[in-house]
């Protein structure tokens, strides 16, 4: 029998349906793996909390299966992990920040409701950069997560805890969120799959906002099929989220690789702004070239394409994201919820004392920058200019994807870096997202696929980018690559 901890979501599903294992046994095995790792000198710290009632929920799922109630519950008894900025009723939701210490969510995010309705069991909260601001999971009040490949390396961020838990065989499937690459970057660094769906494909209701026009729930797994199964359950229209889309992703549960004939009809664009950039690691470049050669060998049309607006992506992203973050985080004022530091000197003092003590340095840096961009000094011109350039990006990238089936490029300029290497160098940290932000700005989907390793064994990811709501096409290409192991 397949080892429970290393089994994928679909493999566990088959094992449960065959009666080869019970959900309670699955949860116990994963909990044991988590507890054993927690005793290590350098624990992964993907999870910041493993839920005490997970085994009880598993026992209920087993009882339902025996009673024949599994027909409309495709994930009955299967475990998943949740990033700490997604609300679960009655559970802590701290965004890994001191300012939300002890905060208990009063309702479920829609993505949680959909997974639970499908029978899935939330087994724990995962670590993250505070308020999802970072690329290494080092800006967490709980301390950093570590990369399962090498525990001196970052797992990436901001959803590094979810990626570490999946790659470290403590859970087969996990939720993350990303504003500019926070799912794809950790997936690349940890050698797993990470999907950033089209903006609106998965409801954001119940997800603590960072940059509202960019945020998207994303999915982590170790196989393409597991990503497809998760998307089919979580995606679609939600009355609570006006930005959600009326799309059905059920076809993503039956993915088949492209045939030889279909491959010959595919056209792939390679943005020269990324492939010729300074700072692109030699090992990353070598893996990229290997994939391009394989595509060409299959008869796929592979062409370099210039998209000049991509050179503005990182600057544009930080103007928009930080402006929206400053606005969204204004609600954490010491009055309504979370930390409260009342000096007895009035509201202004309470507000300043609470935020000064509650927020970490990276969040403060981004709030200050965002407020400056939106200040009277700029009269909002900087933000409005960024929005205009963003509209141009959405249009120009959309035009490229009208002529080509996919855009293909590295997920990150380098493999995972060492913990502590960039934590005090904001510019170097921000440039980790150099190749990912354009996807969020253009509201399109992208999947980071494990593509190879550097000479020292660090994972390298490549990303497949498609037009809006082309998730099935992207996953089918990834399934093709997975089947042949390029």
C-alpha 128/C-alpha 85 separation (Å) is 8
Is 341 catalytic? The answer is no
C-alpha 369/C-alpha 379 separation (Å) is 14
Q: Provide the token pair at 144.
A: 């950093």
Strand residue runs (E) in 292-357: 301-305
Task: Supply the Cα-derived Rg of the chain in whole angstroms.
Answer: 22
C-alpha 402/C-alpha 43 separation (Å) is 46
Contact 189, 170 (CB under 8 A): no
Is 145 catalytic? The answer is no
**Annotated catalytic residue within 13, 31, 83, 468:** 83
Q: Provide the token pair at 91.
A: 């559970």
Is 158 catalytic? The answer is yes
Contact 129, 136 (CB under 8 A): yes
Contact 470, 445 (CB under 8 A): yes
Q: State whether residue 473 is helix, strand or coil.
A: helix
In eight-state DSSP terms, residue 141 is T
**Annotated catalytic residue within 97, 140, 159, 182:** 182
**Annotated catalytic residue within 23, 87, 145, 158:** 158
Q: What is the dihedral of CA 11, 17, 18, 23, to 10 degrees?
A: 80
β-bridge mates for residue 301, sequence order: 267
Could you tell me the end-to-end alpha-carbon distance of the chain, in angstroms, rounded to an integer?
28
Q: Provide the token pair at 192.
A: 């797993």
Residues recognised as catalytic: 83, 158, 182
């Amino acid at each position: 029998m397949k080892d429970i901890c290393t089994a994928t979501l679909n493999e566990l599903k088959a094992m449960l349906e065959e009666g080869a294992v019970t959900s309670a046994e699955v949860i116990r095995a994963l909990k044991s793996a988590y507890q054993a790792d927690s005793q290590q000198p350098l624990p992964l710290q993907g999870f910041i909390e493993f839920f005490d009632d997970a085994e009880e929920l598993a026992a209920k799922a087993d009882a339902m299966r025996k009673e024949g109630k599994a027909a409309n519950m495709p994930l009955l008894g299967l475990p998943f992990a949740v990033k700490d900025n997604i609300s679960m009723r009655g559970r802590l939701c701290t965004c890994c920040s001191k300012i939300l210490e002890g905060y208990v969510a009063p309702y479920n995010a829609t993505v949680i409701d959909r997974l639970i309705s499908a029978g899935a069991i939330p087994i724990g909260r995962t670590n993250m950069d505070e308020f999802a601001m970072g690329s290494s999971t080092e800006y967490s009040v709980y301390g950093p997560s570590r990369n399962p490949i090498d525990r001196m390396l970052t797992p990436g961020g901001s959803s590094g805890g979810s990626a570490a838990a999946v790659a470290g065989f403590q859970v087969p499937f996990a939720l993350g969120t990303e504003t500019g690459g926070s799912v794809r970057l950790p997936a690349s660094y940890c050698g797993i799959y990470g999907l950033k769906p089209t903006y609106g494909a998965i409801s954001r209701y119940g997800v603590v906002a960072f940059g509202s026009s960019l945020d998207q729930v994303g999915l982590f797994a170790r196989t393409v099929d597991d990503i497809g199964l998760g998307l089919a359950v979580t995606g679609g229209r939600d009355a609570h989220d006006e930005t959600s889309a009326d799309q059905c992703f059920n076809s993503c549960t039956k993915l088949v690789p492209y045939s030889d004939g279909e491959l010959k009809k595919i056209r792939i664009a390679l943005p020269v702004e990324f492939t010729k950039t300074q700072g692109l690691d030699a090992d990353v470049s070598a893996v990229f070239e290997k994939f391009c050669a394989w595509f060409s060998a299959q008869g796929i049309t592979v062409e370099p394409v210039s998209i000049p607006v991509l050179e503005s992506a990182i600057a544009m992203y930080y103007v928009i994201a930080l402006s929206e973050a400053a606005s969204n985080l204004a609600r954490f004022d010491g009055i309504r919820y979370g930390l409260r530091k009342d000096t007895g000197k009035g509201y202004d003092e309470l507000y300043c004392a609470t935020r000064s003590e509650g927020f970490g340095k990276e969040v403060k840096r981004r709030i200050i920058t965002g407020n400056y961009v939106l200040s009277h000094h700029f009269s909002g011109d900087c933000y409005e200019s960024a929005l205009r350039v963003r509209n141009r990006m959405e249009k120009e990238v959309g035009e490229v994807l009208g002529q080509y089936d996919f855009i293909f490029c590295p997920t990150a300029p380098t493999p995972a870096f060492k913990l502590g290497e960039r934590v005090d160098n904001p510019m170097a940290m921000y440039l980790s997202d150099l190749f990912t932000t354009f996807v969020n700005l253009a509201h399109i989907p992208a999947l980071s696929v494990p593509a190879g390793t550097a000479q020292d064994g660090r994972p390298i990811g490549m990303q497949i980018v498609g037009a809006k709501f082309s998730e099935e096409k992207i996953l089918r290409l990834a399934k093709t690559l997975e089947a042949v192991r390029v």
